[in-house]
Amino acid sequence: MSYSEYLYGRGQEITRSINQDLYALSSMSTPAKLGVVGAGLAILLAIKLISAAFHRPLSSKSSIPTKAQRSQAMKREFNSVEKGNESVQNLADLKRQGEPTMEIAQLWVYPIKALRGCQVPTATLTPEGFTHDRKFVLLKDLEKTPRQVQHMAVTKFPNVCLFHTSIQGNILTVTYRPPGAAQADGQELKIPLEPPNFDKSERIEVNMHSSPTIAFDMGAKYNQWFSDIFGFKVILAYWGGNPRQVLGNLPGKPSNVSSKPRTPIFRILNQVPIISRLLRPDDGVIAFNDCAPYLVITEESTADVTSRLPDGITMDMTKFRANIILRKSPAAFDEDFWGQLIFGDDTRIILTGNCGRCVSLNIDYASGTSGAGRDGQVLKLLSSDRRVDPGMKYSPIFGRYGFVSRRSEGKVLRVGEEVVVGKRNAERTRFCKSSLILLRATSDSMM
């Protein structure tokens, strides 16, 4: 995807968002429409009055003094990081100074959260992750009134790993392969990666780690296919561009600063078309990712895990569900101290937090059940010496979370591309949970 194609795509997303709000507004009764418009004007007036009181014009880059706003203005975070990195040298300079050169070994996207991912030769960077990454999610319909759904995490539904995904053009193919089935015998479902008229579909609230968003029901055709296989009512939901609050460490902020909780009033207003756009800052967001848009690991650290397993057993790297896998790292777990990665054309990813791990590492991906023997004890083996983040003191650390720098949005990463560490931290960062959540397990438990 070229940069012009990326810009065109972002423009299409904005157009769809506007159409989505206009459609929702048109379906309201006249009194409701007047209420929405009145509430919107009241909010704008309140923001203007607060801005004037603090001598801060609306166009200012200063923070907005209202608790109803989403946690942190990520635009300011990214801008502050960019300014702080202006003196950082480029890849060629760092190579000349002896900084070890690594390369991209693998790139992965996970179109449907928790299902198996797609290995790709190239991937386009967007604020919410690689293009097509975690834009769909499976939900168990609890068949209650009012409607309640449960996110189908691999820790609770391990057989989701029996669903394989592949991308051809604008079509996502999902293949179900039960244990013992030959590769050619799987059941297939084809899904448009960009569903047409999704904004006219039924809306469903998806709340992950107390970071909610509104998703769109893909409809009976897709739901029935998954329901028949799982044996209970399943909904395939599409993200549709509605942002979720970023969780954990933020770029450009100290490790003890994370997203602030949204107030109940904000959460209610955020469900109202048009008003939700007024409340939404122009910042980075996540789709159905758990904590951040990108996850980076290395082959060297994976080899360390393999060394802990019985002879003849190799650690399945796909269980870590990383987006970017690097090779030629100076040492296993050297990434614990990385603050920034610089790729071949000066593309930069800012690494902010550690990825804690959970029992998903113990799942046998071939059978879709908990693993047996030491192969099913990966979490315990890592816990012996990898519980190195006080912010997640009971979870072993493997991998780093990251955000794309503002100036690198729309750029493309390629397998084989060179990469160096642009910034090294003197100490490991401490994972900072949002004050509105307590992650009982890990950042990857529901990926």
Tens of pLDDT along 119-170? 999 999 999 999 999 999 999 999 999 899 999 999 999 999 999 999 999 9
Q: How confident is the model at residue 431 (pLDDT cuts 50, 70, 90)?
A: confident
Question: Phi/psi of residue 315, each to 5°?
Answer: -65, 130
Q: How confident is the model at residue 2 (pLDDT cuts 50, 70, 90)?
A: low
Name the DSSP class of 260: P
H helices within 310-412, ranges in order? 378-383
Q: How confident is the model at residue 93 (pLDDT cuts 50, 70, 90)?
A: confident
- Is 42:68 a contact under the CB 8 Å cutoff? no
Share of the chain above pLDDT 90, in %: 55
- Amino acid occupying residue 420: V
**pTM of the full predicted structure?**
0.76
In whole angstroms, give the CA distance from residue 45 to residue 283: 22
Q: How confident is the model at residue 446 (pLDDT cuts 50, 70, 90)?
A: very low
In whole angstroms, give the CA distance from residue 374 to residue 364: 11
Cα 409 versus chain centre, distance: 15
Is 375 part of a structural domain of the chain? yes
Is 75 part of a structural domain of the chain? no
In whole angstroms, give the CA distance from residue 113 to residue 447: 6
User: How confident is the model at residue 98, as a pLDDT?
Assistant: 87
In the predicted model, what is the mean pLDDT of the chain? 80
In whole angstroms, give the CA distance from residue 65 to residue 257: 17
Q: Which of 178, 185, 229, 165 is nearest to 367 (CA)?
A: 178
The number of distinct structural domains making up the chain is 1
User: How confident is the model at residue 69, as a pLDDT?
Assistant: 35
Is 156 part of a structural domain of the chain? yes
Is 210 part of a structural domain of the chain? yes
Is 45 part of a structural domain of the chain? no
* Residues 196-243 pLDDT 10s: 999 899 999 998 877 788 999 999 999 999 999 999 999 999 999 887
Overall average pLDDT of the 404-423 stretch: 96
Is 287 part of a structural domain of the chain? yes
Q: Cis omega before residue 146 (within 30°)? A: yes
* Residues 334-366 pLDDT 10s: 999 999 999 998 999 999 999 999 999 999 999
Is 28 part of a structural domain of the chain? no
CA angle, corner 71, sides to 69 and 72, nearest 5? 100
Domain hosting residue 295, numbered range: 90-262+282-447
- The CATH number assigned to the domain holding 413 equals 2.40.33.20
Q: How confident is the model at residue 181 (pLDDT cuts 50, 70, 90)?
A: confident
243 token code pair = 């942002």
User: How confident is the model at residue 440, as a pLDDT?
Assistant: 35
User: How confident is the model at residue 19, as a pLDDT?
Assistant: 55
Is 1 part of a structural domain of the chain? no
